[in-house]
Amino acid sequence: MEHFLARHGLLAVFAAAAFEGDVSVVLAGVLADLGFFSLPRAVQAAWLGGFVGDTAWYALGRLNSAAVRRSRLYLRAAPLIERLVARVGEREIVLSRFVYGTRIASMFFWGVHRLPYARFAAFDLVGCLLSAIVLAGLGFGLSTSAVALVGRVKRAEVWLLAVLLVSLPVLVVIRHVMRRVARER
């Protein structure tokens, strides 16, 4: 991800924020601290990219609203979701930017419920801006730690791959032996 962002600059920040929106924005802050681009530009690209991505999920929910409302999954999940929304209201659009894993479902939900686009956009622009500032700022402020963490994760990935490559033949042999023992009984 960081190579993609570094190689393609602000356009990559925009695209990554539209699709993923969390880790990519933190990495954009790290790259801003390393001098690839300015922090305000990184925030701007993440803000607009996040808004475009959210709008796409909102539109998808809105276009398929009738079918989604009839689905078995929706009929089971709707009471819980609607209770939460009854407490928080449309502010949930802003809050979903800060609760990992809820952003896409939230944008889709508001499209299904046909919230007028102007109201959706007003709340979402605020949420996207706040999250872009917080996440890119976090990456910018903690860039030294973030770079070290990414390096450690990469080393752990290599070790895990090595363990997998060594374990796989051992598991195949154990399985073969177990089958043979089971057949002999």
Q: Is residue 147 part of a domain?
A: no
Residues 168 and 80 in one domain: no
Of 14-28, 29-43, 45-59, highest mean pLDDT: 45-59
The total number of structural domains in the chain stands at 2
The conformation of residue 1, written as its DSSP 8-state character, comes to -
Q: 99 and 134: one domain? A: yes
Given a contact cutoff of 8 angstroms between Cβ atoms, the answer to whether 56 and 120 are in contact is: no
Domain of residue 184: give its range.
155-185
- CA distances for 112 relative to 78, 116, 126, angstroms: 11, 11, 21
Is-contact 52 101, C-beta < 8 A? no
41-45, 53-57, 77-81, 177-181: lowest mean pLDDT where? 77-81
In a domain, residue 149? The reply is no
Confidence of residue 176 (pLDDT cuts 50, 70, 90): confident
